[in-house]
């Protein structure tokens, strides 16, 4: 498939007559109500597609494990097929977390699929990025489990001879910690991808901090980002 010419990873003017359908997805009702996950996705798409011809947008609050139980996605695909439009997602994992499913949708759309985190998307890059994302999910799961176990040892939640009630309570705390760590890892991954995208366009630390705040990202303490925090975060990203 021929590569699409771009400027700053954005489509050239020759694409002005193309039609687009936007698809947003968050995994939980809490994310949907808070708007944080949706704000980040919208910031990506607004940056790249703000001057494009948008036919419609669809928002789904559902897990990405299956594509068959996602009515909004099916509506978006149907509209794209009917109008010859291109489906757009902010990040490819918003479409699917499964390589086979993503490739199935790509084929069903007649290869009319674009993702803000994959410039010049084609079958090869789609397969590659999905494989990398799948590997990253495995590593996140491993790191989360290790962090939970380290926390349990550190605070003594699983001391031998403890009462059953105490163990049960510790188990609940451990499960909650697992969820919090998983969410923190996912937010960190999204923020890192967003920062890398902004850096590729030549944004300054101050401009990146402003865009992070506008997109709904917050520091681990729940505060807005500032220039020095962005600089430290970029150094940490580069050292990994």
Q: What is the structure's pLDDT at 152?
A: 67
Domain ranges of the chain: 6-124
User: In this structure, what token pair is assigned to residue 134?
Assistant: 């799948």
Of 32, 21, 44, 146, give the one whose Cα is nearest residue 90: 44
pLDDT digits (tens, 9 = 90+) for 128-158: 888 877 776 677 678 777 777 776 666 655 4
Global pTM? 0.56
Q: Vertex 43, ends 73 and 29: CA angle to 5°?
A: 50
pLDDT digits (tens, 9 = 90+) for 190-233: 777 778 778 877 888 998 888 888 777 777 777 888 888 888 88
In the three-class reduction of DSSP (H, G, I as helix; E, B as strand; rest coil), residue 26 is classed as: strand
pLDDT digits (tens, 9 = 90+) for 5-14: 443 444 444 5
Instruction: Enter the CATH code of domain 6-124.
Output: 3.40.50.1390
Q: What is the structure's pLDDT at 165?
A: 44
| Confidence class for position 45, pLDDT limits 50, 70, 90 | very high
| Confidence class for position 57, pLDDT limits 50, 70, 90 | very high
User: In this structure, what token pair is assigned to residue 74?
Assistant: 């099916």
For 220, list phi and psi in degrees, rounded to 5.
Answer: -55, -25
On the question of pLDDT at 168 being above 50, the answer is no
Average pLDDT value for residue range 173-180: 52
Q: What is the structure's pLDDT at 65?
A: 65
CB 179 within 8 A of CB 217: no
In the DSSP assignment, the letter for residue 114 is E
Q: What is the structure's pLDDT at 5?
A: 41
């Amino acid at each position: 498939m021929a590569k699409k010419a771009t400027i700053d990873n954005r489509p050239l003017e020759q694409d002005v007559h193309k039609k687009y359908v936007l698809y947003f997805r968050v995994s939980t009702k809490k994310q949907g109500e808070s708007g944080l996950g949706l704000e980040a996705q919208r910031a990506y798409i607004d940056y790249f597609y703000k001057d494009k011809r948008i036919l419609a947008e669809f928002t789904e609050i559902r897990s990405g494990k299956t594509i068959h139980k996602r009515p909004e996605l099916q509506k978006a695909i149907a509209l794209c097929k009917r109008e010859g439009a291109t489906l757009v997602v902010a990040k490819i994992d918003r479409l699917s977390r499964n390589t086979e499913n993503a490739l199935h949708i790509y084929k069903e759309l007649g290869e009319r699929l674009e993702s803000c985190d994959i410039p010049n998307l084609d079958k090869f890059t789609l397969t590659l990025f999905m494989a990398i994302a799948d590997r990253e999910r495995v590593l996140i799961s491993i790191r989360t489990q290790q962090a939970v176990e380290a926390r349990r040892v550190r605070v003594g939640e699983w001391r031998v001879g403890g009462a059953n009630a105490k163990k049960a309570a510790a188990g609940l705390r451990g499960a909650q910690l697992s969820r919090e760590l998983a969410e923190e890892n996912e937010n960190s991954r999204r923020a890192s991808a967003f920062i890398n995208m902004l850096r590729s366009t030549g944004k300054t630390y101050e401009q990146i901090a402003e865009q992070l705040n506008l997109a709904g990202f917050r520091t681990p303490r729940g505060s807005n980002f500032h220039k020095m925090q962005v600089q430290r975060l970029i150094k940490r990203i580069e050292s990994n």
